[in-house]
Amino acid sequence: MLRSRPSRQITQAKHGDGKLVRMVSTADPLSIDASDLRIRRVGEPTLSSPMVRLLRGRASSPHYVHESDRVLLDDTVESAVAHQCAVGDLPSMEPGGPREHIYFDPPRTRAAIVTCGGLCPGLNNVIRGLVLELADNYGVTEVLGFRDGFRGLVDGSPPLRLSHDVVADIHNRGGTILGTSRGGQDPAAMVATLERLGVNLLFVIGGDGTLRGAQRIADEADERGLALSVVGVPKTIDNDIPFIDQSFGFQTAFTRATESIKSALTEASSTPNGVGLVKLMGRHSGFIACYAALASHDVDFVLIPEVPFLLDGPAGFLAALRRRVASRGHAVVVVAEGAGQELFAYDGAVDASGNARLADIGPLLRDRMVADFAAAGTELTVRYVDPGYAIRSVPANGWDAVYCLRLAQAAVHAAMAGRTAMVVGRWHGRFVHLPIALATGSRNQVDPDGDLWMSVLEATGQPARFS
């Protein structure tokens, strides 16, 4: 198949001058071909599925994709045409959902769940959804929960037995009942534990680093000839996993962030020349900042990692802020934590997940605003609001609760059918299976030429660039 454009690759690099610079990284569907989308299996599904009772008479429709059908990767005519191939050869994804045949025999199947990385609203919903789907619809009652991330697969701590009772009301709570941690572990040691405990299905809930770890587990099991299905449920409040419409917990997180924006606006508009500055999570992707700003529709400026900006000069951010305060009497600025990293020298520090430790843009902006207004002889009161972890430690809202449950159901269907080294996600409104390699091979970012950023520019009235 034609590969007409190279894949645009991952985020950031260190420049010769020691500064952390942004690189465009959204994966380009035109660079993807059928082999990138193939889903691995631990074996052929030959057993009749208990879900058959719900599948009779189902055929692909606007509301359902049959297991023999495929979901197209591209959703515009131009991009489909650009592949220059027959319609049946267009890059496409395996649909999620129950299959008529499964690989694992439910009474002889043992599942396990692990949650890794930072918190995200809905983790407990996914855990509960997995446990109940396995038990109630497939008859798999042996479900273990590893504690504290991948660490729990190697440190000898006994896993939690996840029964109906244990998960009864966990979906009403934030966090994860299993605990979580950052950092990978030796795949051989993790697979040894899984083999010793007789685990056949492993559900891994985590971000890109975690999912790479899940891939290594699947590969190690494969090398040992172990029939272990490893299925991921991508987790990131930053919404930065590619080929997924939206990640679970994201809606809850940006909705919670709007409360901080409201507070900042109240403060800013109650004082002469007030500026409310709100810093929100978003390491390399500014989705939370954009969506929270749009949901509030009260924000004057949004600064995100994908759109570098200059502070000084007549076309810089500080001059634009002074003009806005002069015309409206106050202003609200939302900044994603990863924005403006080009303004700092980067020391190369990374966290346990291998993520770059970012410099703190919030205080820098606040200090530069104060200095700039003072130099211009203009009064200014800055109210700095950093909700930090508050936006991700809350329980899932209704929308995310539904999404988490449906992702969990799709993950169980995939694992029982013997799929492995994959994640479940929703793409163009359809539940799909995505190889882990594709989900971790690039990063979803706000496209400075895309319609989300356009909406932000329309809503805020800020210039397209501060340069």
Q: Enumerate binding residues for ligand F6P (CB under 6 A).
A: 118, 207, 236-238, 281-283, 337, 351, 392
- φ and ψ at 103, to 5 degrees? -95, -40
Q: What's the min distance (Å) between Cβ of 261 and ligand F6P?
A: 17
Distance CA 220, CA 291 (A): 40
Which residue number has the CB closest to ligand F6P? 281
Q: Would you say 278 or 281 has its CB closer to ligand F6P? A: 281
Nearer of residues 430 and 443 to ligand F6P, judged by Cβ: 443
Select 98 or 340, whichever has its Cβ closest to ligand F6P. Answer: 340
> 82 phi and psi, to 5 degrees?
-60, -20
Q: How far is the CB of 282 from ligand F6P (least distance, A)?
A: 5
Q: Report, in Å, the least distance between residue 13 CB and ligand F6P.
A: 19
Q: In this complex, which beta carbon is closest to ligand F6P, that of residue 200 or of residue 255?
A: 255
DSSP 107-153: GG-EEEEEE-SS--TTHHHHHHHHHHIIIIII---EEEE-STGGGGG
The answer to whether residues 315 and 466 touch, using CB atoms and an 8 Å cutoff, is yes
Q: Which structure tokens are listed for 103?
A: 């690989």
Helix 187-196 to helix 208-223 angle (10° resolution) is 60
Active-site choice (208, 238, 372, 400): 238
Is residue 294 a contact partner of residue 332, using CB atoms and an 8 Å limit? no
Q: Is 238 a catalytic residue?
A: yes
Q: How far is the CB of 84 from ligand F6P (least distance, A)?
A: 38
Using a 10 angstrom Cβ sphere, with 0-12 exposed, 13-18 middle and 19 or more buried, the burial of residue 4 is exposed
DSSP state for residue 243 in the 8-state scheme: T
For residues 282 and 305, is the Cβ–Cβ distance under 8 A?
yes
CB of 244 to ligand F6P, least distance (A): 15
Least CB distance to ligand F6P at residue 397 (A): 17
Q: With respect to ligand F6P, which residue has the nearer C-beta, 175 or 282? A: 282
Residue 279 or 413 with smaller CB distance to ligand F6P:
279
Q: Which residues are catalytic?
A: 238
